[in-house]
Chains A and B, each alone.
Chain A
Amino acid sequence: MSGQRESSAAGKAIAGCQDLMQGIFSRLPPQSMARCKSVSKQWLSWLSSKYFLTQKQAKNLTLAGFYYNSTYNTYQGCCLVPPLPTLLPQDDRHGTRRGILAPLNSSNGLVLLYNSYLGKGNSSFIVYDPSHADYITLPIAPSLVEKPDASLRIKRFLVYGFAFDPHSINPNFTVAELSDDGGSIRVNIYSSITSTWTTGNYPAIEPVDSFMLSGPSVFFRGALHWLLEPSGVISYTIRNKKLHEFTSVPGDLAYVDDEGYCNCVRKMMDSGRDGYSQCKCTCRYLGESMDHLIYVRATGDAEFSVWTLDDYYRRVWSPRHCIVINNLPADSLFYGKFLAFERKDINVIFFRLQRQIFSYNQIKAELKEICSIQKEYGDDDICSGFILPYEVSTIPPPSGMPRRKAATGIAVEKPRNTYASVNRPENTRILVYCHEGNAELARAITLTHQPEFTWIPAYNFQRPFQRYFSVTSTDDHHMHLASSAYNDSVRAEASVYGFLGGRKLSPKFMKRYSCSLNFHMAKMNSSRNILQSDGALWP
């Protein structure tokens, strides 16, 4: 056909011009880009070039800052990380928050949080989208309902994994929990496509009675990756549910002693500073940069060693290369932690040492303090608490992400777990969210006082409501929430009650507002507003 030939002639001109192709390549999702490497040798060389990869990764992700553990149950951010949602109810008397809301992982702009109300037993995972300030609560994870067996075996490790794939046609996320389970590895996986948890068991890794995984996970090429103690990496392929080991890191075992302790652990034990680390290696890092998996460990007081996974299929690591940090102020990198690579300039790395987070430019030998961690929970001396880098994605998750989409031909049973949670960002506003265990049925409800107490159902979390009611800060107040689901409707109830400042906690002084909502899911509307109050708490 002449038309076909003509097209080839015109196409060839573009396909052979790196400048023109750059514009097209940079708009392709990673999977397509990887396939394009197989088109021709020329394309393979362009798509593997340092120039192209730097451009591509700098375009997609920007390091915003770091989350760190500031008190035993709260996390703060430094630099420009978006604030975490305030989901924990406050203790009545002291204004302290009960429970833990901890960032565990981030992936392509979404953050996985672990939310635990102390003593209430309703811990859950929350996937938080800082770009829309949305979140969804996942159904109770299997690990949280597992009953301890008679011997009450303590797990040697429990790591979390989180993968958000914004590039697929149906953007979806996966949450994973891996733990040791006697002679095997227990893997619990939540998929936003099916909205369910599934569980699998995998053979343990040698040495069976002491191997350990550590997080956070790294999502790369459709698989989650964790560090394996004392050396190497393990991967879980989301699509075909397979575990692989990437253990042969050349020269890595030189930094592990006969007893299986990493140099950093040995150093800490020798200096008597091993209290916090509990004999776990903290000097290693697993990440992804320039379309490669990257493995880092501290190999000297002022030296990091870096390995790159050159051949992912054969699991071949390149020989290490060293980053020697000049002018290190004090202490040793064995007590520090490698944190991240800069996306825009691969010569810049980030690490923490004591209470500071530094950046280091390898070319300019330039060490800069990025921020200092004001208050941190944990050992004062070591400062090796968990720090999570957060990268902003230029591909924001679709609003109301992730939507549940039934797999074709398979009817997905609606989960019947409903949750209600409270968000109190400040003393002037109370937001009540009531949602089912999956996002498509998620509802944001704002409790308002002016002009009257009403529930406003919203069909997605994105719709902002600016109306609020005032709560004076001297008031000590409570909020109770309950929700339940019958067939196709959700009933959510909330009551807000409080005590005037200084009074004793006694029902006598209690003023209460409460309201409830019946929400009909099939009709997507609220069928009833009930308002009742038995006192004037708010003037």
Chain B
Amino acid sequence: MSSSTDSPTLTTETTQLSPQPDTETAKPTKKITLKSSDNQIFEVEESVAMEFATVKSFFEDSPSTDTVPLPNVTAKPLSQVIEFCKEQIKFKANPDEAQKKKYNAEFVTEKSDKDLVDMIPVANYLEIKDLLDVLNQAVADRIENKSVEYVRSFFGIDNDFTAEEEAALRREHAWAYEGVDED
């Protein structure tokens, strides 16, 4: 059975550029502005921004700033990362492991391969460990039973082995080539 490959992304873009405060929480909370490398502005609650260890330390170093530039991060993965962190904050307030697990699983299953791959450097740069764990597991799950060719195309890696070298590696690990899914 082949699983979803690079299908067009189905995720909503609603979180992007949404300066409106959360209507459920009436009391005004401190907002922090994040600026992506493609100059998109994200206003997020302080509690969400503090989930990003990188942003947190930025503020600790220079508390007076109100806009944090994120030169390595583009808007789309950032919006998805924010979406994830918002949910995690809710789980922090109301711990429910089962729900959290379910949300995390849904969060990654609905993402395209590209979305997942795009988010990994962002999660790594912003040092969001929980998200990185979830993403790493999701990518591992997607390539786990796939062929070498599939994994190469998943990451866009060029094969730099000669035919002989590759054949030798395959022989050496013949046991690993049994029961591989179709791409």
Contacts and interface: CB of A to CB of B under 8 A. Distances in A.
A31 B152 CA distance: 16
Nearest to A6: B114
User: Which DSSP category, helix, strand, loop or mixed, fits chain A's interface?
Assistant: helix
Given A29-B144, A38-B161, A41-B160, A313 B175 contact: no
Contact of B173 (A20, A24, A221, A223): A221
B183 interface: no
Interface string B139-183: 110011111100111111111110000101111111111111000
A41 B152 CA distance: 12
Contacts of A15: 155-157
B157 to A, nearest CB: 5
A3 B172 contact: no
Contact of A30 (B124, B140, B176): B176
Contacts of B87: none
Interface string B110-137: 0001100110110010000000110011
Given A3-B8, A169-B145, A313-B171, A40 B176 contact: no
A30 B148 CA distance: 14
A27 interface: yes
A43 B171 CA distance: 18
A23 interface: yes
A449 to B, nearest CB: 37
B38 interface: no
A49 interface: no
Interface string A67-105: 000000000000000000000000000000000000000
Contacts of A118: none
Contacts of A191: none
A9 B151 CA distance: 14
Contacts of B154: 11
B6 interface: yes
B113 A7 contact: yes
Contacts of A35: 147-148, 151, 173, 176-177, 180
Nearest to A37: B169
A12 B145 contact: no
Contacts of B124: 19-20
Nearest to B178: A239
* Interface size class of chain B, counting residues whose CB lies under 8 Å from the partner chain: 35 or more
Contact of B179 (A8, A9, A19, A168): A168
A36 interface: yes
Contacts of B158: 40
A14 interface: yes
B114 to A, nearest CB: 4
A38 B169 contact: yes
A168 B153 CA distance: 23
Contacts of B145: 32, 169
A371 interface: no
A24 B172 contact: no
A13 interface: yes
Contacts of A223: 175
Nearest to A4: B6
Interface string A34-48: 111111110110000
A312 interface: yes
A29 B121 CA distance: 23
A311 interface: yes
A39 B176 contact: no
Given A20-B120, A35-B147, A312-B172, A14 B161 contact: no
A10 interface: yes
Interface in A402-443: none
Contacts of A7: 6, 113-114, 117, 156
Contact of A12 (B113, B136, B143, B157): B157
Nearest to A28: B140
Contact of B172 (A168, A169, A311): A311
Contacts of B179: 31, 168-169
Given A7-B117, A7-B156, A36-B151, A221 B136 contact: no
Contact of B148 (A8, A26, A39, A222): A39
Contacts of B146: 32
A8 B121 CA distance: 14
A143 interface: no
A4 B112 CA distance: 11
A30 B155 CA distance: 20
A454 interface: no
A31 B147 CA distance: 11
Contacts of A23: 132-133, 136
Contacts of B113: 7
Contacts of B155: 8, 11-12, 14-15, 39
Given A27-B136, A222-B175, 16 more contacts: A6-B114, A8-B155, A11-B154, A12-B155, A14-B120, A24-B139, A29-B144, A31-B176, A32-B140, A32-B144, A36-B143, A38-B161, A38-B173, A39-B152, A43-B157, A311-B172
29 contacts: A3-B6, A6-B114, A7-B156, A8-B153, A8-B155, A8-B156, A10-B121, A11-B154, A12-B157, A15-B156, A15-B157, A24-B140, A24-B143, A27-B136, A31-B175, A31-B176, A31-B179, A32-B145, A33-B176, A34-B175, A35-B151, A35-B176, A35-B180, A36-B148, A38-B169, A38-B173, A39-B152, A40-B152, A221-B176
Interface of A: 3-4, 6-15, 17, 19-20, 23-24, 26-41, 43-44, 168-169, 221-223, 237, 239, 311-313
A-B pairs, 5 with minimum CB distance:
A8-B156, A222-B175, A34-B176, A11-B155, A27-B140
